[in-house]
A and B are shown apart, each in its own frame.
Chain A
C-alpha cells in the first residue's frame, strides 16, 4: 500500500511536470523575428557589453544608432565573457550565431580560416576610410579581409604613483622596484600564474617574450624554444620567484587590489583604464611603456566581423559603416578608455590634461602585436594551452624554462604538423 508520503510525492511530481511542460511550452522562443515592419534586426555580440565600466557606454552608442534611422535595429546578443569565443564559434560552426561579432584575435583567425566570416574586401575601402595600418594589417587572413578594428588596446605598465613615485625605465629597475614595494599585504607586481586563467597567462607572458626580443614563430615555423623566447620567460619566472606578486590571486582579485593601493604595478592594456577608474576614482595611477629591452609588446586587437551565415549582411554593414564614421570613432574611443580604434583620432586637450598617459598608449599602436602565434593564428588556442601548461610547470619548479619550451616546441610541432 503506497504511503501518504509516497502519494503526496507522486502528486507533487505530477503537478510540477504538468506546470513545467505548460510553462515551458509557453516560453519557447525560437529565433527572434529579425524583420519587423521593414526594420531589420541585427544582433551584435561583444564581450565589451558585459564590462560594468564600458558596457553601458557601448549600449548607449547602439541606442544612438537605433535612434538615428528606421531601417536597421541593432540588438545586443548576450554572451558572457568567460566562454565568449567558444560559445560564438560553436554557434557559427552550427550555421547560427550573432550577425556582428566583436572577436578576439585567436577566435577571429580560427573563424576566418574555417570560412565562418563574411569577406569584407568589397565592402571596406581601407584607404578611403584612413584605417590605421599598424593594427589593420592583421585583419587579413589568407589574402582576404574579414574584419575591421573595433578596439586596439596596447599594453603598458600601470603603476600606482603613490607607491612608486618614479616608474622603472629598465628591467633591472623593474625588478628592484617590485621588490622594494612589496611589504606586508602590499605587492610590487601582479600577474596571472594559474592554469585556470590560461588565456590571461598567455597575455601576460606575451609581453615578456616580445619585450625580450622573442617571437613565437618566424611566420612559417614555430620558434617556441628559441633563446630569446626562453630569455623572456625566464624574466617572467624571475618575477614569480622573487615573491613580489600575490601568488594564487586571479585577475579579478589583483585588479581590485591594484585599485585599493595593494599592488604597485601590473602590465595591462588600455581597456583597463576605465575599470581602474571605476573601481577607485581617487586612485593615483599612471602608465608608462613597459621597461623591457625591446619596444614591442602585446596588443589586444579586437576585430568587428560579420557572420557568414547572417541573413542581414548589408544591414550589418550599415552599422559597421556608421561605427567607422569619425564622430563615432571618437565616441567609441572614449567608451573604451585608452584603446585605439580603427581610424586615427585626436585626443582632446582636456582628456590629455586629465590623463597624460593616453598618449603613451597611442604611441604604441604601431608596435603592438596581436596575441596570436603569427602564421598559426587559427591554432593559437591549442599552442597557447601547450605553452602555458609547460611554463606553469616550470614556475612550480618541475623543470627549467628551457626544458619546458623544448617540450612545448615538440608538442606544438606535432600539433601543426611542422
Chain B
C-alpha cells in the first residue's frame, strides 16, 4: 500500500516537473540564446548554460530602442482592452444568458461568426472607419479595435459562466427587491469571478500580443506597443538574433507577471464558497 502511494507521489512529481519544463524551457532557451555570441551560436556544440559575460545585451537592448516606452504603451493598451472588454462583455453575456429577446440566436451566431474572420480581413474596413472617426494613430483607437476583436470570446465565456449559476439565485435576489443591474453586479459577478479572471487574462494577452492592428493604425513611434517594436529588430538584410531574444524576453516577462497576478483570482474564485461558513 505504502509502495503504491509513494509511486503515486513520484509519478505526480515527475509529471509536474515535465509540465514545468515545457512551460519554462522556451523562456530559458530565449535567455540562453540572448547570452550566446555568434561564434558560440554556430560552434556545432549546443550551449545549454547561459554565458553571463554577455549579460550586457539586456542593458544594450534597453538603451538602444524605446523598449520601456513600448512596454508602457503595451500595458496601457492591454489594460484598457481588458477593462473595455469586461465592461461590455459582462452585461452582454448576462443578457444572452438571462433574457429572451428578438434576434438572440442571431446575436449568438454573429458572435461566433466574428471569430471566423481573420484580423487581416478586418484591418482594411476598420482602417477606413477609424480614419473617418479620427481614431487612427491613437491608443484609445487601438484599445477599441482590440476590444472589438476579443469581446465575442469574452462574452461567450462569460455567458457559459452565467448559465452555470442557477436561476433561483437571481429569483431569490429579486424577491429581496434587487433590480437586474444590482443582481448582476452584487450577486452574479462575484459568483463567476474565476471566469471573469480567465476572460480578463484572455483579453489582456490578446491585446498584449496583437500586431496587425497596431502596426497599421499607429504611425507615431512614441505610441507603438512592444509587439511592433520587437518586430522592428528584424531587418531586411540583417537581424540580431541575440537582441531579438533579449527584447522578446523583456516583452514576455510583464505578461507572465500579470498572469501570475491574475491566476490567484481564478483559483481563489474557484475555492470561494467551497466551505460553508
Contact of A50 among B83, B235, B268 (CB under 8 A): B235
Is A25 touching B189 in the complex (CB atoms < 8 A)?
no
Which of B161-169, B175-183, B192-200 binds A?
Answer: B192-200
Q: How far is the CB of A130 from chain B (nearest CB, A)?
A: 28
Could you say which residues of chain A place their CB within 8 Å of the CB of B38? Answer: 256, 259-260, 279-280
Could you say which residues of chain B place their CB within 8 Å of the CB of A91? Answer: 127, 216, 219
Could you say which residues of chain B place their CB within 8 Å of the CB of A113? Answer: none
Could you say which residues of chain A place their CB within 8 Å of the CB of B102? Answer: none
B19 within 8 Å of A (CB atoms) = no
B157 within 8 Å of A (CB atoms) = no
B110 within 8 Å of A (CB atoms) = no
**With A6-B193, A27-B223, A90-B127 in contact, is A275–B216 under 8 Å at CB?**
no
B93 within 8 Å of A (CB atoms) = no
Q: How far is the CB of B115 from chain A (nearest CB, A)?
A: 22
Distance A30 CA – B236 CA, assembled complex (angstroms)? 29
Is B238 touching A278 in the complex (CB atoms < 8 A)?
yes
CB-CB nearest in chain B for A47: B236
Distance A176 CA – B127 CA, assembled complex (angstroms)? 53
Interface of chain A residues 27 through 44 with chain B (CB within 8 A):
27-32, 43
Is A19 touching B79 in the complex (CB atoms < 8 A)?
yes
Q: How far is the CB of A418 from chain B (nearest CB, A)?
A: 27
Interface of chain A residues 60 through 104 with chain B (CB within 8 A):
77-83, 86-87, 90-91, 93-96, 98
CB-CB nearest in chain A for B243: A52
CB-CB nearest in chain B for A55: B235
**With A24-B140, A87-B215, A260-B39 in contact, is A9–B269 under 8 Å at CB?**
yes
Chain A, interface SS category? helix
Number of chain A residues whose Cβ lies closer than 8 Å to a Cβ of chain B: 65
Could you say which residues of chain A place their CB within 8 Å of the CB of B235? Answer: 47, 50-53, 55, 81, 275
Distance A13 CA – B224 CA, assembled complex (angstroms)? 24
A415 within 8 Å of B (CB atoms) = no
List A residues at the B interface (Cβ < 8 Å).
Answer: 2-3, 5-10, 13, 16-17, 19-21, 23-25, 27-32, 43, 47-48, 50-55, 77-83, 86-87, 90-91, 93-96, 98, 184-185, 252-253, 255-257, 259-260, 262, 271-272, 274-275, 278-280
List B residues at the A interface (Cβ < 8 Å).
Answer: 38-39, 41-42, 44, 73, 76-77, 79-80, 82-84, 86-87, 120, 123-124, 127-128, 131, 134, 136-141, 143, 186, 189-190, 193, 196-197, 200, 211-212, 215-216, 218-224, 228, 231-241, 264-265, 268-269, 272-273
